[in-house]
């Protein structure tokens, strides 16, 4: 009964994430951009698969990936050996990233880089920076200085990189911090932070996701110097046409074995690592062990359904809508439409509500959950709008990323450390599954329609969405700092007044209460 209750809750969260996009798309297709019945049916079936897949996947990751991260993190720290922690962090970072669904969606959408070459490159980048993150926790390095150093390296390399790899690289940093990697990495961080006994150990466990998102950017930029890719085209984004419901159903049925095999390869490394640890050192009791195994099966089933729905029917309609809207005289309508979608996408993300509550608790109510939600919605809506401006004009993405990251890094000197850590962690929260699965194909279709370069103009949307919370959350940190400063000053004035009067100051509104 408890599993049914939790699954029902996860399905409701999935509906909240997918329904806004589905409703907006349905209205657009009904009144503005008519599409074939087959494509609309494929989209609706894909929506159902996404809801079921995301529900099973989130249930599975909570039952398997988070406990695995906790157990492995505890085992790593028990050894108190830095070489062991470094080696295991790298291997675990690579293994968990390969299974990230957002990364698989992005890799399938990139037309000129082999899917597995991109996924392995990104995974190695995450593994390397997970090592950096663990060393930071162990030796208490200041997060803001590490962020400044590594982002300086990123933009220096970006200045000489292949333009076709630039936007994909920054998108890779956004998609790797998704629903698979975030809980696992956070669990590892908490375990390693337990080695330290100082009062800053717990707060230093934040910021891991922000640091790990740098690794894929650098790795893909470096890949661009050596990789000889195919010409960038939209062949991978060809929109299927189904003459009848039989062929439509057949396309889904034929796709499932392919994704079953692909997901099995993706999940195998992390499952194998867990089993090795279980029989060598963990030796969990039968019930916890079985729960984790069942959680892995839920994760597997959810990923298969999710990827099948995305690649067969969901992304195809996004590509077509982008082409149709951008090829007409109302092409600039892409900007407000994308902003509207961005507003509802971020508000429907369950992880965003967790982040907002976290900030409200951390600020003792000085920054409310509602204010955080509104600021993030506005920021993500603006990011989607800017992404479509890029598609229509061809503006280089660095014109947006450079000032954005410069502002975020500058703000880190004026806000409490915790806000900086949460801000850089929250980029992955904002660029959730809907951004990679629908908004990116929408931008790709639009870029093709206006005759732009898909690789340089369409890609980068995820990067812009991931960047905006860095500024937004830290601005809330500035608000918190100002409000808490005024509250402290008022309290000090009351204490001075009490000392001058030789007693306590009784406030009249408290007496009246």
| DSSP code at position 141 | -
CA-closest candidate to residue 96, choices 105, 84, 104, 106: 104
Residue 154: partners with Cβ closer than 8 Å, 6 or more residues away: 214, 217, 218, 221
What digits encode the pLDDT tens for the residues 151-195? 999 999 999 988 889 999 999 988 887 777 877 787 777 767 666
Supply the pLDDT for residue 147.
92
Q: How confident is the model at residue 511 (pLDDT cuts 50, 70, 90)?
A: very low
pLDDT of 304 > 90? The answer is: yes
pLDDT of 512 > 50? The answer is: no
Supply the pLDDT for residue 203.
61
User: Cα dist. 116→119, 169, 215, 222 in Å?
Assistant: 5, 15, 17, 16
Q: How confident is the model at residue 49 (pLDDT cuts 50, 70, 90)?
A: very high
| DSSP code at position 190 | H
| Collapsed DSSP state (helix, strand, coil) of residue 110 | coil
The stretch 231-251 carries a mean pLDDT of 57
pLDDT of 438 > 70? The answer is: yes
What digits encode the pLDDT tens for the residues 467-491? 988 888 888 888 877 877 776 666 6
pLDDT of 198 > 80? The answer is: no
Q: How confident is the model at residue 205 (pLDDT cuts 50, 70, 90)?
A: low
| Collapsed DSSP state (helix, strand, coil) of residue 160 | coil
| DSSP code at position 397 | T
CA 486 – CA 513 distance, rounded (Å): 24
More confident residue, 293 or 358: 293
Task: Kindly report the length of the chain.
Answer: 513
| Collapsed DSSP state (helix, strand, coil) of residue 199 | coil
pLDDT of 493 > 80? The answer is: no
- Give the chain's radius of gyration (CA, Å): 24
Q: Which residues of 288-317 are buried (b: 16+ CB within 10 A; e: fewer)?
A: ebeebeebbbbbbbbbbbbbbbbbbbbbbb
Token reading at 286: 């039968």
What digits encode the pLDDT tens for the residues 345-357? 777 666 676 667 7
What digits encode the pLDDT tens for the residues 313-356? 888 888 888 988 888 788 898 999 999 988 887 776 666 766 67
What digits encode the pLDDT tens for the residues 61-117? 888 888 888 788 777 777 778 888 888 889 989 998 988 888 888 888 888 788 889
Quick one: three-class SS letters along 25-91?
Answer: HHHHHHHCCCCCHHHHHHHHHHHHHHHHHHHHHHHHHHHCHHHHHHHHHHHHHHHCCHHHHHHHHHH
Tokens 């503005």 belong to residue: 32
- Contact of 456 with 330, CB cutoff 8 Å: no
Tokens 């996924």 belong to residue: 119
Residue 186: partners with Cβ closer than 8 Å, 6 or more residues away: 69, 205, 208, 209
For the beta carbon of residue 491, count every other beta carbon within 10 angstroms. 10
**pTM as predicted:** 0.84
What is the rounded average pLDDT for all residues in the chain? 82
């Amino acid at each position: 009964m408890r599993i049914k209750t939790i699954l029902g809750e996860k399905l409701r969260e999935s509906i909240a994430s997918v329904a806004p996009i589905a409703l907006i798309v349905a209205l657009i297709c009904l009144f503005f951009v008519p599409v074939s019945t087959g494509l609309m049916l494929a989209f609706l079936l894909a929506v159902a698969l996404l809801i079921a897949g995301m529900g099973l996947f989130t249930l599975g990751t909570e039952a398997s990936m988070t406990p695995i991260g906790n157990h492995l993190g505890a085992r790593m720290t028990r050894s108190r050996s830095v070489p062991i922690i470094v080696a295991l962090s790298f291997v675990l970072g690579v293994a968990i990233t390969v299974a990230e669904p957002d990364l698989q969606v992005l890799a399938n959408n990139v037309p000129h880089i082999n899917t597995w070459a991109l996924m392995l490159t990104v995974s190695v980048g995450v593994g390397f920076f997970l090592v950096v993150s663990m060393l930071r926790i162990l030796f208490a390095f200041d997060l803001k200085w590490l962020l400044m150093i590594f982002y300086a390296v990123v933009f220096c390399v970006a200045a000489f990189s292949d333009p076709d790899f630039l936007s994909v690289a920054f998108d890779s940093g956004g998609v790797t911090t998704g629903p698979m990697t975030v809980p696992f990495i956070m669990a590892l961080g908490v375990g390693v932070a337990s080695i330290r006994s100082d009062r800053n150990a717990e707060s230093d466990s934040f910021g891991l996701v922000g640091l790990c998102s740098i690794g894929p950017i650098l790795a893909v930029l470096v890949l661009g110097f050596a990789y000889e890719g195919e010409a960038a085209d939209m062949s991978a984004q060809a929109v299927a046409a189904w003459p009848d419901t039989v062929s439509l159903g057949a396309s889904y049925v034929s796709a499932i074995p392919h994704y079953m095999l692909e997901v099995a390869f993706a999940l195998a490394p992390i499952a194998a690592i867990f089993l090795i640890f279980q029989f060598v050192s963990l030796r969990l009791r039968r019930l916890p062990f079985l729960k984790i195994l069942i959680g892995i099966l839920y994760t597997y089933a959810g990923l298969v359904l999710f990827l099948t729905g995305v690649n067969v029917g969901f992304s195809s309609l996004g590509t077509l809508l982008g082409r149709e809207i951008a090829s007409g005289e109302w092409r600039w309508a892409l900007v407000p439409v994308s902003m509207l979608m961005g507003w509802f996408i971020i508000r429907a993300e369950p992880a965003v509500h967790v982040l907002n509550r976290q900030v409200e608790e951390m600020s003792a109510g000085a920054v409310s959950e509602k204010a955080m939600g509104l600021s993030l919605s506005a920021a993500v809506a603006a990011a989607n709008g800017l992404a479509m401006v890029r598609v229509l004009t061809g503006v280089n993405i660095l014109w947006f990323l450079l000032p954005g990251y410069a502002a975020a890094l500058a703000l880190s000197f004026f806000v409490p450390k915790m806000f900086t850590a949460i801000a850089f962690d929250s980029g992955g929260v904002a660029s959730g599954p809907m951004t990679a699965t629908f908004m990116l194909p929408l931008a790709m279709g639009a870029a093709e329609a206006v005759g732009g370069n898909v690789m340089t103009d369409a890609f980068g949307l995820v990067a812009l969405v991931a960047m905006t919370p860095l500024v937004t959350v830290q601005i809330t940190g500035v608000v918190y700092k100002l409000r808490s400063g005024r509250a402290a000053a008022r309290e000090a004035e009351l204490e001075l007044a009490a000392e001058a009067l030789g007693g306590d100051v009784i406030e009249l509104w408290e007496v009246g209460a």
